Amino acid sequence: DAMVIQNPRYQVTQFGKPVTLSCSQTLNHNVMYWYQQKSSQAPKLLFHYYDKDFNNEADTPDNFQSRRPNTSFCFLDIRSPGLGDAAMYLCATSKERGTSGEQYFGPGTRLTVT
């Protein structure tokens, strides 16, 4: 089945220790998104890629970086995680940008910072 896959599902890292979250998709969608979601809050868009075109949200901290080496994979790098970065990180895809197409979500990675 075509899908969005995130690894790992649960990640524990130490304060200040860099961590990378990964996302892959078999949907062949052009757009990939990274969201941060804290408990009982709306998902917050961090970045999105339209193909290789990178779009950073204005309020995304510099501590967060992203890479998309090819259509299928996208990575979220947190350079120096703080306690406030503990959250669920959701990867999503959509077929095209600028359309009304729904977004397909991966299962998420729950990040704990100790």
Partner 1 sequence: GQNIDQPTEMTATEGAIVQINCTYQTSGFNGLFWYQQHAGEAPTFLSYNVLDGLEEKGRFSSFLSRSKGYSYLLLKELQMKDSASYLCAVLDSNYQLIWGAGTKLIIKP
Per-residue contact string for residues 70-89; x = within reach of partner 1 by CB under 8 A: ------------------x-
CA torsion sign for 34, 70, 105, 77 is: negative
Closest separation in Å from C-beta 11 to partner 1: 14
- The correct pick among 19, 36, 43, 46 for binding partner 1 (CB under 8 A) is 43
Angstrom distance (rounded) from CA 84 to CA 61? 12
Beta-bridged to residue 110, according to DSSP, are 10, 88
Q: Determine if 69 is a binding residue for partner 1 (CB under 8 A).
A: no
Angstrom distance (rounded) from CA 86 to CA 8? 15
- List contacts with partner 1 (CB under 8 A): 40-45, 88, 90, 97-100, 102-108, 110
